[in-house]
Amino acid sequence: MPELPDVEVFRQYFDSTSLNKTVTNVNVKNTKILEDVSVKTLEKRLTNRVFTETDRHGKNMFVHVDDKFWLLFHFGMTGELKYFRDMDEDPQHDRLLFTFDNGYHLAYDCQRMIGHVRLIDDKDKYIQQKELGPDALEVNLSTFKDIIGSKRGGIKSALMDQNTIAGIGNEYSDEILFQVGLHPKKKVTDLGDDSLKEIYNAMIEVLHTAIDAQVDLSQFPDSYLLPHREKGGTCPLNGGKIQQIKVIGRTAYYCPDHQQK
């Protein structure tokens, strides 16, 4: 599901396909994905414009339009981008389609329509208004220890809280805790300085590794949980059976043999 590494790969994909071309047509195929903007306004403000650069904060992708304002993509659970020429390649759940002056198209495909698109004038102000925490790949160790260390609940919920650190969701929080050998429900207050530092290092390592692998699970290291994160999965470290538990309403996967409370 689109978490920080996925969104970063989408951003790189967007950069390599859709920058510096004039948008000749904007086609909103399902209005449910629009947030605080009408079809008319979106079409009017994007037609005949150029996407000039991109940025990302957590799971949010920002696209600068004529260096003036921003188009925000949030991918929800099932969002993705596809760039193509012939309309027979138009993906099944295309909700928003751009056409460029070279005849190619960019589709925002979102099966479950939990993602959304909106226009933003001031990106930093938007991040502030949403009260998002620092981006997981931008935050430094000292800030990480301060903000995670001040939490009272479990470590998994702290890592997934976008207002604490932005970018980590259910799957990557499982991977990070797997790498450091901590139980998902371990209380943050029971963690020492060294543990927080280990979690921080694992977070950076896991996120970079996933981006380098272009989030292709078959390219992940053998020692990673994610390729084995399923019912009946086997721990790649000790052959133990991967367990599932509910943590703040999410299904957490972990290896009980080496991830203890």
Note the residues at the interface with DNA (CB under 7 A): 1-3, 32, 58-60, 74, 76-77, 92-93, 111-114, 130, 151-154, 157-158, 160-162, 169-171, 244, 247-251
Min. distance of Cβ 24 from DNA in angstroms?
28
CA distance 118 to 35: 5
Min. distance of Cβ 224 from DNA in angstroms?
15
Strand 94-100 to strand 51-57: parallel, antiparallel, or no bridges (unpaired)? unpaired
Nearer to DNA, 40 or 152 (CB): 152
Nearer to DNA, 18 or 157 (CB): 157
Nearer to DNA, 58 or 134 (CB): 58
Min. distance of Cβ 115 from DNA in angstroms?
8
Distances 252 to 77, 155, 229, 244, 246 between C-alpha atoms, Å: 16, 12, 9, 6, 6
CA distance 52 to 75: 20
Min. distance of Cβ 147 from DNA in angstroms?
10
Nearer to DNA, 132 or 237 (CB): 132
Q: Using only the alpha carbons of the chain, give its radius of gyration.
A: 20
Min. distance of Cβ 47 from DNA in angstroms?
27
CA distance 171 to 169: 6
Nearer to DNA, 105 or 229 (CB): 229
Beta strands per DSSP E along 47-141: 51-57, 60-65, 69-74, 79-84, 94-100, 105-110, 116-120
- Cβ 257 vs Cβ 183: under 8 Å: no
Query: How many other CB atoms sit within 10 Å of the CB of residue 184?
Result: 25
Min. distance of Cβ 77 from DNA in angstroms?
4
Of 181, 173, 179, residue with least CA distance to 155: 173
Nearer to DNA, 32 or 68 (CB): 32
